[in-house]
Amino acid sequence: MKRFIPEPRRPETLFDPCIKCTICVSACPVAQTTATFPGPKQAGPDAQRFRGRGEPVEGPWINLCSGCYRCQVACPADVPIAEINLFAKQRYAAEKGRDVATELLTHAHWFNPWGQRFHWFATPLLRMKWARWLAEKLFGVDRRAPLPTFARESFRTFARRHESPRAKHKVAYFYGCFTDSNAPEVGRAVVKVLEAAGVEVIFPVQQCCGAALIGAGNFDRARRQDAANLAAFEQALDQGAEAIVVGSPSCALALSHETGEVLGLGHSAVYSRVVDLFTYLHRLDEAGELNLKWKETPLHAAYHEACHLTALGFGAHAPALLRRIPGVQVRVLDAGCCGLAGTYGLKHKTADLARQIGAGVARRVAEWRPDVVLSECEGCRMQIEHLTGVPAKHPAEVLADALVE
Amino acid sequence: MDRFDAIVIGGGITGCGVARDLALRGVGVLLLEQHDLAHGATGRCHGLLHSGVRYAVKDPIAAQECISENRIVRRIAPHCVELTGGLVIELPGDDPAYYHQLRRGCDEAGIEHRALSPADALELEPNLNPRLTRALSVPDASVDPFLLSQENARAAERHGAIIRTHSAVIDFIRDGAAVTGVRFADDEGEHEARAPVTVLAAGGWGMPLAAKAGVRVGLSLSKGSLVIMNRRFCDRVINRCRLPADADLVIPNGPTSIIGTTSITVASPDGLVIEPRELAVLLAEGAALAPGFATARALRSYAGVRPLFQESGDADGRGITRGFFVLNHATRDGVPGLVSIVGGKLTTYRLMAEKTADQVCELLGRRVAGRTSDTPLREGEPAPFYHRYERLARLATTKPGEMVCECEMVPREAIRAILSELHGRPDLADVQHRTRLGMGPCQGGLCSYRGLALLHDEGLLAGGSPAAVITRFLDQRFGGIAPVLWGDQLREEALNYAFYATLFGLDRGGDA
Amino acid sequence: MRRVLVIGGGLAGLTAAIEAREAGAEVALLQAGQGVHHLFSGCIDLLAYPQPDGPAVENPLEAIARLAPEHPYAKIGGDAVVRAMVGFQRRVTEHGLTYLGDGRHQYRVLTAMGTLRLTGLTPLTMAVDPAQIDVVCSIGPYRNFSAGLVADGLSRLTKKNVRTLAFEVAQGELDAMGLAAKLAEPAESARFGDFLAREARGLTVAIPALLGLENAEEQKRSIESRFGGVLVEVPGLPPSIPGLRLMHALRRIALDRGVRIAQNVRAVGALDGGGVLRGVKVRVADLEREETADAVVLATGHLVTGGVVSTRGALREPVFDLPLSFPAGESFFRSRFLDRAGHPALSCGVIVDSSLRPLRDQSPVYENLFACGDILGGFDPYRERSGGGVALSTATVAGRLAAGVAR
Ligand SMILES: Cc1cc2nc3c(=O)[nH]c(=O)nc-3n(C[C@H](O)[C@H](O)[C@H](O)COP(=O)(O)OP(=O)(O)OC[C@H]3O[C@@H](n4cnc5c(N)ncnc54)[C@H](O)[C@@H]3O)c2cc1C
Ligand SMILES: Cc1cc2nc3c(=O)[nH]c(=O)nc-3n(C[C@H](O)[C@H](O)[C@H](O)COP(=O)(O)OP(=O)(O)OC[C@H]3O[C@@H](n4cnc5c(N)ncnc54)[C@H](O)[C@@H]3O)c2cc1C
Ligand code: SF4
Ligand code: SF4
């Protein structure tokens, strides 16, 4: 199916409502950490006012924006600051190109199948000091940054085999690359919880959501991938799926938001149907249809709300649901951004900054000493484990384990 | 400091131009400006470096002057000009015959022009009204009137002239009928300065001043109002293809667009009020040229007066010639030692200055030719560049904590660099005029404090109460915001009021 | 359980959410953006200038008792104000923030302009009589603070010669957030304490409000112990660290109590159930959806945060299109900017009954909608210096009423 692709939103009109209140500045994790980044207000609406067609681009500082959206979320005037920055990154990349690390990391979905096929080799390799040293020198991938492990069996393979029982409700599941190659157990947990809740799950053929590509200003590639995703999931909706449950907040943001607003892929029925797992469960609950039984599960958990989950605008529904499991204690961290932000925490250029940004989260985790940190976002989970040594899980995994079958 | 070869009254572009021209010819000049440079029509004009197309049908001589001066100013003041180019666009309903007259007029005046298809025009300027029927490209440009005035003044100073701002001429010193000098007042009191020739370049303020020397200079004051938008709609100057009328010009100015103007005869150049109906016309006509105007954010509105020379007395503002006149009051009125320069345009300021300086030199008995047409203002020194991406580039070299004005990207160092130019008891407005501090969307919300702090720390407030200085500045700035106070700008001012009243208590004088 | 939806994440919204939750409701708070507490001094103003032309009042509570009936304080009554104040102080104390004041006298707080502001409740870090201050010390350099300017102003006010000092932190080119984070590092705090011990031993030192986001009071004590004097924070232009401290504390309290906070979401209309609200229509960017509830608290602030919006010539409440107390034909602002009489646009707001329910033609628009904070009409928070106090006290009442318990 070929899509009509209109012009994306025009960045030159987006800065008008900015009243220079600086609220975004106090929300930006990067600006608090380094003076080399001018901050969301200056980099976003202020700078955009000075960018002209065909004029030279500004310095590389724009690439220091991690794309966490915290500024945009905080802005009381609806200035899409993070998006302005994305447009600026695209403009910058179009003139100056992208570095190797960015290219490599934003195309992880190309390598993942290989890493996953040769997981017995790839996973240990990515843990070897010399290999990491080499990767840093050659590709700019920070040697201390957290990297995922490759799974024995991809989620995709599981899904191909899996037959979800027919039920009253039906959803399409967008599991995302990480779940596919690196954490299929999360995908299986999501499916298990949904099915227990009386929901049939289907798995449309899907590609990488392109969140990382968009974050690096590589809109063309992302457009191709997401046009295919929209087509596949529109079809799923036609086939009776009532929602598109997305496991990872960043994928959800890309599919529901950036695809239309930033990539300009036109209107799609997909956007408004994208939800995170817990919002979907909350809706079932509000309709009086969530009848899950829990077994006693002693667990002291800290919940970390991923920046991109916040940006989705649903708020975190996970803590309330988790608290229903007898024995589970959940406290919301509310300690800011973990710093990983897609590829930010992986690139050598920004990895240190990412660790500094995550210090607030690390401090609070150290203070609270939970058994586990829960977060829907895989990046956050990797980074928090890396920074604190406390295991991190997707909250769906806790639900799945606590289900009385 | 009280004897000169010539005294120039008025620090608008004309006065500054005259001062430079004379200084280049070795004449010892004192320039006196009552407020800051470009306080008058100069700082409130449209900032269009006319190609002459606007006058090509009605006033061929003005058109010729414009195009030839346009070329000269680009050459001698490249850093004050943005070479935007201009478009003349015809919209449905505009008289189609005008387009052909215009092209003929351009041919006659020697103004390059090129027809563009509507599609090509829209490709160049996507924000234009898509219904445009014809377009012509012309060599209009955008000029920064503040910078151009300051640069002329700086050049004059380099050649020995003395430039005094915040020095208002209050009377002439006479020797019989002859004017032999002036009395002027500044913060410290009254002073006298003498010179064999005094040049009156006080624009719209000229009439009452001339009267003090017993001379009548017939000026008609035509107020023109303009609106500055928060964003730049077009990268080129946009002219409407019709006889000059209200609100038919949109000019890119750095990150903004300026739409103008109206024309209403007024009695005085001070205390100009922008009427709601003027604003309505400006916004409606702006939206006809570029539809985005209708919903976009207006930053402020301002008005200036065109001092149009009028020997006979009546006639409506726009009909009067744009030409200029150098009046030698010795021959004209029997008052030796006084020369007036009236009328004209910013674009032709250099020519006006040259003719005036010729007259002054003749009176002084000096035979030196002017050389401003081929002497760059900077005379080989590197020039600060005037372009919006140059400001943007400052973000790469300025740390967040060093940025004083964030909207217009003015770092602390840029302000330090001009502090030495400030005379008397400087005001924040002086900093504003030289750096654009406070001229962006927040209209001084954040940077007024920082600017004040800088002036204070440099010892430039000289005992004045900081609270009074900033209150005056904010109240003054508000004058231009009040007419466009709705939507985002109302929101902005609500915030600024909360900063300076609620937080700092300046509405109550700050002493609780 | 009764489900309460709070719209707005400012002082009023957070307070209402906490109150409703403590009263037993299930609470969700929706906010389009952050509130103005990011910008304010950190002091909770109660009331300083009830009359445009009148003098400052020294006893806010006494003045509150004498307000005109349309004033929000008058609607809820002085006792409710006291209860809200005490409740607020108790709550934030648990999170390491001490707010001083009993509403019966004003504090005078020095500002970064070198001026004084009157306020009812002040953070411990600002609660020092300005006349005691001996030295003004800058930290940075910080663009929103000039020690010279502050000392100059203070000297004019106290007729005392106030000295200035400058303490440079390692990365002087940072803005407020970065500077505060830097200064909060134990080594940097210690260095600052030692610097003051050399330069200002035993004195009272005013500094920009850049003590840390967390544990500011502890940091203050530890620095003070090094130089044997007193530190005073001076509020100025944003980002406001004291405001952020307060916001973090209130969020922490709300989250710990189980309030769900959804950000980046804007309420755009009513789900009208005929005289009652079923909930609200909300929007995230261009995507619209519904949030249902049994009661709704409107705490959307004023012009700055979008609780009131304007077009040429008209002001509007954008969520429910509630009538505003703005006289038709009035201009938004007076002709002078820093007019001590304030500006008409800033004093307009939603008209409510004594249960804080917005009214149209004298009757409640929805029986389960309650308004609080800046969105209320009948007062001018900016001119009167009553914003914080009205937000806290009306929100306390609105939160409880929404939860279905007595005020
Ligand atoms: C609305 C408008 C738009 C315009 N747009 C354009 C345009 O786009 N392009 C263009 O080329 N031209 C334009 N013009 C024309 C142009 O602005 C003027 O021709 C030009 O600026 C006049 O400069 P000036 O120095 O003669 O007068 P002014 O700039 O008015 O200068 C006179 C100066 O004298 C000072 N002064 C007065 N009295 C005293 C005193 N007693 N003592 C000391 N100083 C005194 C004043 O403070 C003032 O600074 C426009 C004019 C108007 C009104
Ligand atoms: C610069 C400044 C300084 C001040 N200084 C002081 C001071 O020192 N002391 C003092 O006591 N008072 C001060 N005030 C006043 C005081 O801060 C306010 O009165 C008070 O904070 C108002 O709180 P609020 O919760 O009603 O509104 P706000 O803080 O404005 O919060 C409104 C909230 O509603 C959200 N919102 C708006 N519309 C929607 C919608 N449609 N859907 C969802 N969410 C929405 C906003 O994003 C925001 O989160 C100051 C005010 C300003 C602006
Ligand atoms: S928060 Fe929004 S309005 Fe405020 S400065 Fe940032 S972009 Fe501008
Ligand atoms: S998206 Fe995140 S990193 Fe980028 S400017 Fe906004 S807050 Fe800062």
pLDDT at A63 over 70: yes
Is C304 found in the same domain as C267? yes
pLDDT at C171 over 70: no
Determine the pLDDT at residue A276: 96
Is C289 found in the same domain as C200? no
Which residues in C lie closer than 8 A to residue B505 (C-beta atoms)? Answer: 111, 113, 115-118
pLDDT at B106 over 70: yes
Shortest distance, CA A143 to any CA of chain C (angstroms): 27
Q: Which atom of ligand 3 is nearest to the CA of A23?
A: 1
C143/B412 Cβ within 8 A: yes
CB atoms under 10 Å from CB of B386, counted, come to 20
pLDDT at A12 over 90: no
Q: Which of residues 371-410 of B touch A (CB under 8 A)?
A: 388-389, 391-393, 395-396, 399-401, 403, 406-407, 409
Shortest distance, CA A133 to any CA of chain C (angstroms): 30
- Per-residue 3-state assignment (H helix, E strand, C coil) for B449-501: HHHHHHHHHCCCCCCCCHHHHHHHHHHHHHHHHHHHCCHHHHHHHHHHHHHHH
**What is the chain C residue with the closest CA to A311?**
C264
Is C211 found in the same domain as C131? yes
Which residues in B lie closer than 8 A to residue A75 (C-beta atoms)? Answer: none
8 Å CB contact between C240 and C41: yes
Residue C153 in contact with ligand 2 by CB distance below 6 A: no
Task: Find the mean pLDDT for residues A20-27.
Answer: 97
- Ligand 3 binding residues, C-beta < 6 A: A 18-24, 41, 44-45, 74-75, 77, 79, 81
Is C158 found in the same domain as C275? no
Is C142 found in the same domain as C117? yes
Is C388 found in the same domain as C265? yes
Task: Find the mean pLDDT for residues B425-443.
Answer: 92
Q: Is the pTM of this model over 0.90?
A: yes
Task: Select from C212, C234, C256 the last residue of a domain.
Answer: C234
pLDDT at A7 over 80: no
Determine the pLDDT at residue B322: 53
Q: How confident is the model at residue B317 (pLDDT cuts 50, 70, 90)?
A: very low
d(CA A372, CA A379): 16
pLDDT at A106 over 70: yes
Query: Is C239 part of a structural domain of the chain?
Result: no
A150-172 tens-digit pLDDT: 888 999 999 999 999 999 999 99
pLDDT at B313 over 80: no
**Percentage of residues in chain B having pLDDT higher than 90:** 86
Task: Find the mean pLDDT for residues A81-94.
Answer: 94
Task: Find the mean pLDDT for residues A346-362.
Answer: 91
B507/C339 Cβ within 8 A: yes
A46/B407 Cβ within 8 A: yes
| Closest by CA position to C43, among listed C113, C116, C114, C141 | C116
- Ligand 4 binding residues, C-beta < 6 A: A 27-28, 30-31, 40, 43, 65-71, 81-82, 85
Is C230 found in the same domain as C354? no
pLDDT at A13 over 90: no
Q: Both tokens of residue B100? A: 């052909």
Residue C308 in contact with ligand 2 by CB distance below 6 A: no
Least confident of A66-75, B392-401, B446-455: B392-401
Is C290 found in the same domain as C379? yes
Q: How confident is the model at residue A1 (pLDDT cuts 50, 70, 90)?
A: very low
Return the partners of chain C (3 or more C-beta pairs < 8 Å): A, B
| Closest by CA position to C254, among listed C41, C16, C5 | C16
C339-352 tens-digit pLDDT: 999 999 999 999 99
- Return the exposure string of C375-406: e unless at least 16 CB atoms fall within 10 Å of the residue's CB, then b: bbbbbbbbbbbbbbbbbbbbbbbbbbbbbeee
The domains of chain A are located at 11-96, 299-402
Domains annotated for chain B, with CATH where assigned, are 2-40+146-218+321-364 (3.50.50.60), 83-142+220-307 (3.30.9.10), 388-508 (no CATH)
What's the CATH architecture for A299-402? 3-Layer(aba) Sandwich (3.40)
Is C325 found in the same domain as C296? yes
Determine the pLDDT at residue B315: 41
Interface size, chain B vs chain C, as Cβ–Cβ contacts under 8 Å: 170
User: Domain range spanning residue C95?
Assistant: 3-103+244-402
Shortest distance, CA B501 to any CA of chain C (angstroms): 7
Ligand nearest to the CA of C304: 2
Give every CB contact of residue B340 below 8 A, 6+ residues apart in sequence.
Answer: B199, B200, B201, B206, B210, B215, B217, B325, B326, B327, B329
**What is the chain B residue with the closest CA to A53?**
B235
Query: Is C301 part of a structural domain of the chain?
Result: yes
pLDDT at B291 over 80: yes
Determine the pLDDT at residue B388: 85
Mean pLDDT score of chain C, rounded to an integer? 96
Shortest distance, CA B272 to any CA of chain C (angstroms): 14
Is C309 found in the same domain as C217? no
Q: Quote the strand ranges of B346-452, DSSP E.
A: 403-405, 410-411
Residue nearest atom 2 in ligand 4 by C-alpha distance: A68
Q: What are phi and psi of A214, to 5 degrees?
A: -60, -45
pLDDT at C97 over 50: yes
Task: Find the mean pLDDT for residues C54-72.
Answer: 97
Q: Which atom of ligand 2 is nearest to the CA of B499?
A: 1
Burial class for A6, CB neighbours closer than 10 Å (0-12, 13-18, 19+): exposed
Torsional class of B93: left (φ above 0), alpha (ψ -120 to 50), beta (otherwise): left
Q: Which candidate from C157, C343, C387 shows the least CB-CB separation from B497? A: C343
Strand partners, C325: none
When the candidates are 1.20.1090.10, 3.40.640.10, 3.40.50.300, 1.10.1060.10, the CATH number that belongs to A11-96 is: 1.10.1060.10
Rg (CA), chain B: 23
Least confident of B24-28, B96-100, B316-320: B316-320
Interface size, chain A vs chain B, as Cβ–Cβ contacts under 8 Å: 89
| Closest by CA position to B256, among listed B126, B64, B407 | B407
Q: How confident is the model at residue B293 (pLDDT cuts 50, 70, 90)?
A: confident
Task: Find the mean pLDDT for residues B251-257.
Answer: 95
Determine the pLDDT at residue B318: 44
B215-237 tens-digit pLDDT: 999 898 999 999 999 999 999 99
Which residues in A lie closer than 8 A to residue B255 (C-beta atoms)? Answer: 49-50
C262-313 tens-digit pLDDT: 999 999 999 999 999 999 999 998 899 999 999 999 999 999 999 999 999 8
Least confident of B281-290, B452-461, C169-178: C169-178
ipTM: 0.98
pLDDT at B489 over 50: yes
Q: Which candidate from A16, A31, A58 shows the least CB-CB separation from B230? A: A16
Task: Select from C177, C204, C234 the last residue of a domain.
Answer: C234
pLDDT at B319 over 70: no
B437-451 tens-digit pLDDT: 999 999 999 999 999
Task: Find the mean pLDDT for residues A272-292.
Answer: 96
Is C134 found in the same domain as C97? no
Which residues in C lie closer than 8 A to residue B482 (C-beta atoms)? Answer: 333, 335
CB atoms under 10 Å from CB of A269, counted, come to 12
Is C52 found in the same domain as C147? no
**What is the chain B residue with the closest CA to C344?**
B494
Least confident of B297-301, B304-308, C45-49: B304-308
Task: Find the mean pLDDT for residues B127-149.
Answer: 97
8 Å CB contact between A346 and A366: no
Give every CB contact of residue B122 below 8 A, 6+ residues apart in sequence.
Answer: B128, B130, B132
Determine the pLDDT at residue C313: 84
Rg (CA), chain A: 21
**What is the chain A residue with the closest CA to C240?**
A26
B441/A22 Cβ within 8 A: no
Q: How confident is the model at residue C373 (pLDDT cuts 50, 70, 90)?
A: very high
**Residue C175 is part of a domain; what is its CATH number?**
3.40.50
| Closest by CA position to A28, among listed A59, A77, A74 | A74
| Closest by CA position to B447, among listed B457, B458, B459, B435 | B435
Task: Select from C234, C252, C270 the last residue of a domain.
Answer: C234
- What's the number of domains chain C is made of? 2
Which residues in A lie closer than 8 A to residue C305 (C-beta atoms)? Answer: 76
**Residue C348 is part of a domain; what is its CATH number?**
3.50.50.60
B61-81 tens-digit pLDDT: 999 999 999 999 999 999 999
C252/A25 Cβ within 8 A: no
Q: How many helices (H) and strands (E) does chain B have?
A: 15, 23
